[in-house]
Amino acid sequence: MGESSTANFAKFMASRDEAASAYVNGDSGPLDTMVTAREPATFFHPKGPHLVGAAIVKDRYDRDAKAFSPGGTSRLEVLQSASSGDLAFWTGLQHAKATLGGKTLSMTLRITEIFRFEDEGWKLVHRHADMPPGD
């Protein structure tokens, strides 16, 4: 990896925040570059289902992004993050304003993401997203 995994992951998280912003504008392209194509991969969706398998997870991310219209905003509030060797994580909140089905919504999601360092860089291998109680 060259530089320390902590410094490398901190740089990566800046691009992860940019990918989240693109996503709420209907563009899954930046996230696609961060999603693993290797097994295992999982996604605990905010609406309840859990998905298993790299291709299945990537397909769901792509389909979900297409539901958003341009004009959204997103900000990741990282409460904690760390990396050690080939594994890293962050957990916190995603504050977003997004247009879905012609309606603009403000939402906060609780997020935990786990990454694995693969040949081409950090790759998302697990995402758990849900709404805090009362939202």
Residues 65, 67, 73, 74: is their CA dihedral positive or negative? negative
Which residue do the tokens 């909140």 mark? 93
* pTM of the predicted structure, to 2 decimals: 0.92
Starting at the edge strand that comes first in sequence, how are the strands of the sheet with 87-100 ordered? Answer: 50-52, 42-44, 121-130, 103-118, 87-100, 68-84
| Ordered structural domains, the chain, with CATH | 5-130 (3.10.450.50)
Q: What is the pLDDT of residues 82-92, one digit of tens each?
A: 999 999 999 99
* Residue 6 confidence (pLDDT) above 80: no
